[in-house]
Structures are given as structure tokens and as C-alpha cells.
Amino acid sequence: MAYAYQKEDTQSGLFFSQAERFGNDVFMRAKLNNGEPCDEWVDITWKEAANEAKLMGAGLIEMGIQKKDCIGIFAHNRPRWIITDQAIQGAGGVAVPIYPTSTDKQLIFILNDCRAKAIITGDRALAEQALRVKPEVSSLQFVACMTSGQGLSDEHLISYDQLIQKGKQSQDSQNQLEHRKKDLALEDYALIIYTSGTTGNPKGVVLNQSNLKAQTDVLMSTPILQKIMERGIRLESLCFLPLCHIMGRTNDYHLQMAIGNKIAFAESIQKVQDNLLEIKPQVLFSVPRLYEKIYEAVKLNGETLTGRKKKVFDWAMKAGDVASDYLIEGKPMPPPVSIKFALSNLLVYDKIRKIVGFDRLVVAGSGGGALPGEITKFFRSMNITITEGYGLTETTSAVSSNAPVFVEPLPDKWIYRKAMDWLVDVQFLLQGNGICPFKSLKGALKATVVSKTILPKFIIKPGFVGRPCKDTEIKIAQDGEILVKGPQVFWQGNGYFNQKGKTDEVFTPDGFFMTGDVGEFDSNGFLKITDRKKELIVTSGGKNIAPHPIEMALVMDMFIDYACVIGEGKNYITALIVPQFELLEEVAREKNITHKSHEDLIQHPEIIKFFEEKVNEVNQGLARYEQIKKFRLISHPFSEETGELTPTLKMKRRVITEKYSGEIQALYA
């Protein structure tokens, strides 16, 4: 049976096909009413979303938008972000998603580089910013706002409702929209995503409809997703990754649309924990930091327990750790291990899931950075498999995936076919509805059969980003760089917008995309990312050092938020360390350390000694030339607002080394 995502060549075709199929079912929900924040969740059906997208698309045509015109989407995540994107695609335009945290300078650069004809903003503040920079962008004809735009007066500003109304009043524009939708082809530009730019100006990555279709097919190709499609199971996700980032777009938007899932939009990154408890999502994609924070909180809570509760907690952690080793390695659990695994979930892990809002979670993904293996194991103990993948904007997200796939085909026997159905029953129908599978004899029996037959066929390796995706070829160059070829990789003919020279630089003569990442395969064909090629540190002694694994080892400590390893051209390695100040304040209280500020706190001898012990512990696992000889505690957290992090929370090393040049110089004085 062919599904809509397989039959439709474009994301526009997929959206309208699914809307026709699911009609009055809820497609999206958010705490927004007519674009304005409110206290209640407001639902939007597939039919409503499709109607708004059609009228908005017609409104864009009425405003003079032609095929292939670029239109910026400058907004935080919300249902109207997706509706706007579909309206742009339907009108034959090219969407240019822009981070809503962009500065005026960044916004001007992007709009000028793509020669944007319009920009659609999320709220009044962003509309005001767009109007402010409009005189610097000669191609910009108008600014639209996803809210009413009340309080703003400008001849070039149009509200969401006004744009819809323009489309509604023009039958000719509606007819044009239908023609343009039908004319969309695989080779047509779908969007231009500007890379976050850890160095210099961002580059516009051109992705066409073919790239998006291939990526959706990649994401949908796992055995479990194929099974839930076969059984018509639809789920609810919580969306908080930026939709203007390729991972957020493909996973929180395209994948959910292909399945027919319901998308709930988190209010903000700060309110994700509250929204998790309200929505209790069945699907969640995140950067590693969210999972790390939950892991740290559970560990910290465990340390505060005493007596019987402490014994039960520690026993469950150990039982889960042992069981997760079997699950990860694809080995059948011996009966005693299975029993302990079931009991640990009943007594402890089920409660943890409920506390963090993960009691219905069945599909979890992590990307944008490596997830420490210890955290992968911890969530596997909770019967939650966090899948990792690897990809870039230029590869339309994933080229490899650690999603549960069969390393070898299942035997064609009744018990294996039945076990696959029972896996879906246990994972999606029981746990997906907040019911611990081990609470009933029937659920426990199904889980046992699944653990004996199906789970040993799955291999998920913590610390690895999986095997190459469907129709994707990955090889390692002589210098260790990861090279990729596949239908989801941006076309060399399109490449970076307006930058053919830079496009040619990232392709090998035989057509492989040069990722700039360094990696290696293990004997089972699983890929491991070891570092960024450009971020490798070369010391004055000629030693090549990968900073990322050292930084990962440091931030695995719950008292360390971020760590930036330094040493390029130097004769030893140092580090800038940002403490987890909420936890460090607790330490200060316990040690009766008085202080007036974070700056005072990090200069206290006992606090410095506290972190020396942690650095020394990491050093024990490093080669002598990799060891951190000195470090400096930083009093202010790294953030996107202060410039040290990209919107996906990756460190901007150039910014950090420039901003803290004085501290770095002192480390080498």
C-alpha cells in the first residue's frame, strides 16, 4: 500500500492530501488565539489549516508574489508558521525561514542576499523590526504579521487577517494558486535555509522539493513507523525545536504531517517542562540538553533520598542499567534480568516518567549534537529509546540514523510477525497511553515475547549516530572527513544561493558532499562523529586534539553547564567552564560560602578546588597531551542572546575566544 508521503512529490501536495483525508481531526494546537498568547490550548483542524493556507496563498498572489519569489518567515514556532509555509509553497514561492532571534544586521543580510519580496513576521515586535530594516532592503515590497499588527501603522504592513481577506475576495488569485500548486515539481526550490553561521556570514542552502521528499522517505522508513502507518496509529508530538532549523522542520513538521499526527506547540523553551506535563507527548524531538537536564535532575533527586526509598532507587538504577546493556547490545535478557527490569519500571521508572511528562512518550529523538551514552542508557532503562541521527542543513537533516532498524531481516515466521504487532501494542497502545506495560499480566507477557524475539534484532549503540539511511552512501576520506551522497543532499547545481564557488568547494570530483565533520565506522557499520574538521586543535607541539570528546566528558558532570576547550597553537590544553549555577548555589549553602554574586562565588578557593577535582577526574581518562592543565570558571552562562551559542545551542568558538580573550591569555601567562 502506498501512503500519501510516497505518492505526493511535494510537501504542498502532501499537506493538502492529508488535510482532505483527516478533515475535522485536530492537526495543531497552541496557547494562541488569533495569533495572540492565551491561557488555554486552542485546536486547529486539518481542514481549517488547509483553508487558511489556500486563502493566504491567494492573498500573497494578490499582493504581487510571483513564482520563485523569496519570502522570509520571521517567527517563533506556532501553527501559523506551518500555514504560512504552505501558503508560500502553494503560491509557488520560496520560503526563507529566519531565526526570530536574529539581529537587524543578520536580518538585513539574509533579506538582501535572497532578494526577498516579502517577510511574514510572528508578532508585533518582529514586525516592528522588519519595518525598521525595510529601508535597507530594496527588494522588500511588504511586511505581513501573523497577529493583528495592532499598534503598528505603516503603509507597507499587512496583518494576517487582511492577507486572508485579500485571498478570499479574489477568485482569480485562488484559481492561480490551484494552478501553481499543481505545477510544483521535484526540481523546484522549496526553501532556502541560512546556516547559523558559527563563523562569518551565513550561507543560504537551497533545498528543492526532491530533497524534502527524500528526507521524509528516509525518516518514515523505519520498521516501527511503517508498522504504525499500517495500523493507522496516530500520535501527538510536542514541538519546540526551531522550525527554521532543518532538524526541527523535518522532524517536528514534515514527519508529523506524513504520519497524520497532532502537533502541539510549546509556548517557549523556558516553558517546555510545563508543557510536557500538560501535553504528555507521545513524540518528542530535542537537542541533547533537555535529556541531560532531566538526567541530572533525577540523579540529584536520588542523592537526596534516605532509608528505604534510597535503597529502592539505587536498586532500580542498577537493575535498569544492567537491562539496558542487553537491550543496547541486542542480547536476550536472562529471566532474572527481565524480572528486575519489569520491577524497576513498576517501582521507580514509571514514577519518573510521570514526573517529567514522559509517561506517554514512545518516539524520542535527539540531534544537533552528540548525546552522551550514559544518558541513552538511562532512558533505555525507562523503556524509552532515544534515537540519534546525523546530518546537516545541506543534507536536509539525516544521512545516518540510530533509529531501531533490523541489522538482519526478521525470520519469516509467525512468532516474529506476531511479536512485531505486540511491540506496537506494548509501546504505542499501552505506554503511548500512559499505561506501564508491566502492570498487567497480558502486557508483561507481550513485553517478554518482544524482548526475546524482536529486541535482540535491534541494535542501537550509544555514542554512535547509526548506520547510513536509506539510499545514502557514506564514506570516510583519508583525513577522516565524512563524505556523503544521497537524494536528500542538496544539489550541486543549486548549492549555496548566489555562491557557486563555495558550492563547488564542498563537493568531491565524484559528487560526494564534504561535511566538514570527522568520523569513523565500527565493524557493524555504525558511524561515530569524533569532531569537526575545522575545530581540531593543533598544539604548538604538533599534536592533533579533538576538543568535543573532552568537552562532552566535562559536561557529563551535573555541575558543569558548558565547557570550551582551548589550545590552538599553544603548548598545553586549557578550558573555559560555565558552572550550573543553580546546583552550585546549593553547594555554597552546604559549605557556608557567602557571596554577593556569581563572580564572587567562582573566585572562592573552595569552589575552585571543587572544580579542580572534577577536571582531574576527566583528565584521568585522557592522553597526557590532551589533559587540561588550567581552567577558568566563567560567571555568566553561555546563551544565544549573549552570542556564545547558535539557536541550536552549539558553541560559537570564534565568538567565545574573542569575548574571553583576556581570560584565555591569563591561562597562558
Q: What is the CATH number of the domain that holds 35?
A: 3.40.50.12780
Q: Is residue 472 in a domain?
A: no
At 563, phi and psi to the nearest 5?
Answer: -140, 135
| Residue 174 predicted with pLDDT over 90 | yes
Percent of the chain past pLDDT 90, that is, above it, reads 66
Distance from CA of residue 143 to its chain's centroid?
29
| Residue 48 predicted with pLDDT over 90 | yes
Q: What is the pLDDT of residues 587-633, one digit of tens each?
A: 999 999 989 999 999 999 999 999 999 999 999 988 888 999 999 99
Q: Is residue 554 in a domain?
A: yes
Pairing of strands 363-366, 283-286: parallel
Region 294-312: mean pLDDT is 88
For residue 363, give the nearest of 252, 503, 492 by alpha carbon.
Answer: 252
Q: Is residue 526 in a domain?
A: no
Q: What is the pLDDT of residues 86-116, one digit of tens each?
A: 999 999 999 999 999 888 998 999 999 999 9
Q: Do residues 243 and 157 both lie within one domain?
A: no
> CA 516, CA 484: separation in Å to the nearest integer?
11
- Provide the 8-state DSSP code for 467: E
Domain membership of residue 296 as a residue range: 236-247+269-278+286-384+408-457
* pLDDT for the residue numbered 530: 83
* pLDDT for the residue numbered 149: 66
Q: Cell triple for residue 470?
A: 536509506
In a 3-state reduction of DSSP, which class is residue 10?
A: coil
How many domains does the chain contain in total?
3
Q: Is residue 401 in a domain?
A: no
Task: Give the residue ranges of DSSP H helices in 280-371.
Answer: 288-304, 307-329, 335-344, 350-356
DSSP per-residue codes, 28-93: EEEEEETTEEEEEEEEEEHHHHHHHHHHHHHHHHHTTPPTT-EEEEE--S-HHHHHHHHHHHHTT-
All residues at 6 or more sequence positions from 457 whose CB lies less than 8 Å from its CB, including other chains: 330, 406, 407, 408, 410
Q: Do residues 552 and 639 both lie within one domain?
A: yes
Region 134-147: mean pLDDT is 96
Q: Do residues 423 and 317 both lie within one domain?
A: yes
All residues at 6 or more sequence positions from 241 whose CB lies less than 8 Å from its CB, including other chains: 247, 248, 251, 252, 285, 286, 287, 368, 648
Choose the final residue of a domain: 416, 435, 457: 457
* pLDDT for the residue numbered 256: 97
At 564, phi and psi to the nearest 5?
Answer: -120, 115
Q: What is the pLDDT of residues 327-359, one digit of tens each?
A: 877 778 888 998 999 899 999 999 999 999 999
Long-range contacts of 36-41 (CB under 8 A, 24+ apart): 36/147, 36/148, 37/267, 41/264, 41/278
CB-based burial label for 249 (10 Å; 0-12, 13-18, 19+): buried
Q: Do residues 167 and 302 both lie within one domain?
A: no
Choose the final residue of a domain: 141, 160, 184: 184
Q: Cell triple for residue 340?
A: 528486575
| Residue 477 predicted with pLDDT over 70 | yes
For residue 393, give the nearest of 174, 196, 238, 146 by alpha carbon.
Answer: 196
> CA 16, CA 21: separation in Å to the nearest integer?
9
Q: Do residues 309 and 440 both lie within one domain?
A: yes
| Residue 652 predicted with pLDDT over 90 | no
DSSP per-residue codes, 339-357: HHHHHHIIIIIHHHHHHHT
| Residue 634 predicted with pLDDT over 80 | yes
Q: Is residue 478 in a domain?
A: no
Per-residue CA distances from 362 to 222, 239, 365, 427 (Å): 14, 15, 10, 6
Per-residue CA distances from 181 to 86, 93, 163, 166 (Å): 10, 10, 19, 19
Contact status, residue 233 vs residue 509, Cβ threshold 8 Å: no
Q: What is the CATH number of the domain that holds 619?
A: 3.30.300.30
> CA 117, CA 95: separation in Å to the nearest integer?
11
> CA 238, CA 277: separation in Å to the nearest integer?
11
Region 272-291: mean pLDDT is 93
* Confidence grade of residue 641 (pLDDT, cut at 50, 70, 90): confident
> CA 178, CA 42: separation in Å to the nearest integer?
29
Q: Do residues 451 and 549 both lie within one domain?
A: no
Percent of the chain past pLDDT 70, that is, above it, reads 98
Q: Do residues 367 and 450 both lie within one domain?
A: yes
Angle at which helix 104-114 crosses helix 124-133, to 10 degrees, equals: 70
Mean pLDDT of the chain: 91
**Buried/exposed code over 133-162 (b: 16+ C-beta within 10 A; e: otherwise):** bbeebeebebbbbbbbbeebeeeebbbbbb
Amino acid occupying residue 475: K
Q: Do residues 163 and 54 both lie within one domain?
A: yes
* pLDDT for the residue numbered 74: 98
Q: Is residue 162 in a domain?
A: yes
Q: Do residues 24 and 98 both lie within one domain?
A: yes
Contact status, residue 605 vs residue 633, Cβ threshold 8 Å: no
* pLDDT for the residue numbered 200: 62
What is the H or E stretch that residue 263 is in?
A: strand 262-265
Choose the final residue of a domain: 146, 162, 184: 184
Put the strands of the sheet holding 26-33 in their side by side order.
Answer: 36-45, 26-33, 262-265, 236-239, 283-286, 363-366, 386-392, 397-401, 467-468
> CA 345, CA 43: separation in Å to the nearest integer?
34
> CA 274, CA 84: separation in Å to the nearest integer?
27
Q: Do residues 172 and 34 both lie within one domain?
A: yes
Q: Which pTM was predicted? A: 0.87
Contact status, residue 470 vs residue 402, Cβ threshold 8 Å: no
Q: Is residue 660 in a domain?
A: yes
pLDDT, greater one: 12 or 465 = 12
* Confidence grade of residue 14 (pLDDT, cut at 50, 70, 90): very high
Contact status, residue 289 vs residue 368, Cβ threshold 8 Å: no
Q: Is residue 514 in a domain?
A: no
Contact status, residue 647 vs residue 196, Cβ threshold 8 Å: yes
Q: Do residues 243 and 170 both lie within one domain?
A: no
For residue 286, give the nearest of 258, 316, 322, 248 by alpha carbon.
Answer: 248
